[in-house]
Structure 1
């Protein structure tokens, strides 16, 4: 009787083990069949292009992309450097090259993973229906700034340049800074559309999606600052190979037309900021 009982216990144990093994195999198969998922943090300058490219990439590869938007720099809690400092889920970051280089130096983005994706220029906007200022030359921009009752620029790459460099170059810093606002997080175009600023400066790609404004044009070449928007792989990403595949796609000819339509130029070669 004791021997029979042992045989029954053995059969039950083997059956349980087999069931557990089958369940584990099924779970592994399900995980293998499940499309990859990747987390991307992108700043405003590349956002319009990336949103379209992400949908295109998922259609072609099946990879699901979870996208979060935030400024390249600044003090807001949703700024990309702040998000990485909190170790939010992230595999790829896309932001102004100067900010990306700081993340690489801090060890938050893998050195050697950086790649330039798009080149961005600064544009000028006014509220739809408002008088159109002349911005064709540096002197014209100086006059437009002096005549404007209020001015807005972003707290990211373009705005930092305007506030710390361009106003001084034009010799109007003392007159313009008191009536100027550096806008954190919110697109400058929205501030202009609401009538909270008479004239606004931001990357062309960030102004284009905003309704209720008129884009006057790009700053003249003598005042223009071209900003590379670049991608890199987050140092703590659990799937760097999947991240690299996405960056390779974003820098490939498949992405060029969408990047151009967003107001950027594809960065086909290494750019030194």
Structure 2
């Protein structure tokens, strides 16, 4: 019996040492590019044999759930995917491998209402303002788009005291509130409003008020799987990404 146990132990050790470890890659992503990423990830893992561990964080904002805050407190990631505004902050903090950043897609700010509600006219600035004032309760994420709306657009329009704005840490929390009818309008990247259960996407806000966000990917300075990180970014920025990007309400980056 002792000999059998020794044999089994030795065989198990042999299998452990002789079987190549599955390559792993850690990604931290914000909500804006989540749609295309989720659609493309299975085929990337299948074709490369790389197992991807996905973590989530906001592009910008305050609190512990931003990508910046998580990296500063020791959360590991080989690749980050977030708005260009948030990425610029990480580059300034020397958290990004120089020249590793690649733009993936662009997206406008859009407006959504609870499923089944009447869709307001938002084609003109006046119509958009009227819709916000009439709605009263508005929800926005505390990231790039929400910062832009609350700090620039609402004051510019002079309606800050005519509307009630709830700011959530993440875009997914905003759409959950909208789906639960705890808000009448959500304003955030269109890619976070399309194909979301319980809400109806109305369209982009007027061009005169618009913020077109660019979402980009980059390799962190502490990346442990540099080659895998390069492969993922190449994959997400390849022609294969065109379909998923468009299906998520985003625009393909035009080649220069």
RMSD: 1.9
Instruction: Confirm or deny that 1:214 pairs with 2:207.
Output: no
CA distance in 1, matches of 2:194, 2:69: 27
* Alignment CA distance shift 1:26-1:146 (3 Å): closer
Cα offset, 1:130, TM superposition: 1.8
Which residue does 1:189 correspond to in 2? 175
Does the Cα contact within 8 Å between 1:116 and 1:269 map onto a contact in 2? no
Q: CA deviation at 1:260?
A: 1.2
Q: Distance in 1 between matches of 2:229 and 2:89?
A: 20
- CA deviations on 1:69-127 (whole Å, 9 max, x unpaired) are 22112223222111111222210000010100110110111121111001011111111
The residue aligned with 2:6 is none
Shift of 1:225: 0.9
Match of 1:242 in 2: 228
Please state how far the C-alpha of 1:218 moved relative to its aligned partner.
1.0
Structure 1 counterpart of 2:120? 133
Mapped partners of 1:79, 1:137: distance in 2: 33
| Residues 129-138 or 99-108, more deviating | 129-138
1:200 to 179, 183, 186: 186
TM-score normalised over the length of structure 1 = 0.84
Q: Indicate the residue corresponding to 2:237 in structure 1.
A: 251
Question: Equivalent residue for 1:106?
Answer: 93
Q: 1:269 to 1:104 in 2, by over 3 A?
A: farther
| Counterpart among 207, 211, 219 of residue 225 in structure 1 | 211
Does residue 153 of the first structure (1) align with residue 140 of the second (2)?
A: yes
Return the alpha-carbon distance in structure 2 between the equivalents of residues 132 and 260 of structure 1. Answer: 22
Contact in 1 for aligned 2:61/2:147 (Cα 8 Å): no
Q: Which runs of 5+ in 1 are unaligned?
A: 1-19
Which of 51, 54, 57 aligns to 1:70? It is: 57
